[in-house]
Amino acid sequence: MSLVELLALIGELERQAPSVRFDDWRVGDQRYYVSDTRAFQAATGWLPRVGVREGVSRLHQWLLENNVATRQALQRGVA
């Protein structure tokens, strides 16, 4: 999942797109990155049990349930 795709998912979950500002390219910025867990899987037998969408949704729900300030702001329609 790219950062842009993650931001879109956050927007879906929050029912409001996050405020994002893109800036100029920096010398140390990575142009492309892919996580490949196959070597770790081969060494340990580990497999992910939760997909990205479900994991981000679970995290979002947990944050709503466990962060009083965020929950109160959402109830007031501020966040």
Max Cα separation, the chain? Answer: 49
Residue at token pair 């060494």:
43
pLDDT digits (tens, 9 = 90+) for 26-79: 999 888 888 888 999 999 999 999 999 999 999 999 888 887 666 667 677 765
pLDDT digits (tens, 9 = 90+) for 7-30: 999 999 999 998 999 899 999 988
Tokens of 74: 């959402």
DSSP string, 38-61: HHHHHHH-----S-HHHHHHHHHH
Q: Which of 28, 31, 38, 26 lies closest to 2, judged by CA? A: 31
pLDDT at 68: 63
Break the chain into its structural domains and give their ranges.
50-79
Q: Which of 20, 7, 19, 23 lies closest to 60, judged by CA? A: 7
Q: Which of 41, 37, 3 lies closest to 21, judged by CA? A: 3
pLDDT at 5: 92
